[in-house]
Amino acid sequence: MRLHEYQSKEFFSNFHIPIPRGRLASTPEEAKLIAEELNGPVVLKAQVLVGGRGKSGGIRLVKSPEEAKDEASKILGERIKDIPVRRLLVEEAVNIQQEIYFGMTIDRKKGETLVIASAEGGVDIEEVARLSPEKIFKESINPLLGLRDFQSRKLATDIEIPRDLWRSFITLARNLYSVYCQLDTTLVEINPLVITTGKRLMALDGKIIIDDNALFRHPELLDKRDTSIEAPQESEARKFCLSYIKLNGNIGCLVNGAGLAMATMDIIKHNGGQPANFLDIGGGANSEKVAAALRIMLSDPQVKTILINIFGGITRCDEVAMGIRQTLSEIETNIPFIIRLVGTNETEGKRILADANLLTADTLHEAAAKAVALSKESR
Ligand code: GDP
Ligand code: MN
CA of 39 to the centre of ligand 2 (A): 24
CA 235 to chain centre: 12
Average pLDDT over residues 220-233: 82
Among 203, 194, 178, residue whose Cα is nearest residue 19: 203
Helices 28-38, 65-75: axis angle to 10 degrees equals 150
| For residue 337, pLDDT beyond 80 | yes
pLDDT tens figures, 104-121 = 999 999 999 999 999 999
Please tell me what DSSP assigns to residue 4. P
Residue 289 region, left (φ>0) first, then alpha (ψ -120 to 50), else beta?
A: alpha
State the pLDDT at residue 8.
97
Ligand 1 lining (C-beta closer than 6 Å): 43, 45, 52-54, 59, 93-94, 96, 99, 122, 191-192, 204-205
- Give the pTM: 0.78
Query: Do residues 116 and 188 lie in contact, with contact meaning Cβ atoms separated by under 8 Å?
Result: no
Bridge partners, 62 (sequence order): 42
- Which ligand has the nearest atom to the CA of 202? 1
pLDDT tens figures, 229-243 = 777 888 889 889 888
- Give the ligand 1 atom nearest the CA of 56: 2
Residues designated catalytic: 101, 189
Sign of CA dihedral 244, 114, 131, 121: positive
| Straight-line distance from the first to the last Cα atom of the chain, in angstroms, rounded to the nearest whole number | 35
| For residue 379, pLDDT beyond 60 | no
On the question of a cis peptide bond just before residue 133, with omega within 30 degrees of 0, the verdict is no
Compute the distance between CA of residue 12 and CA of residue 127 in angstroms, rounded to an integer: 26
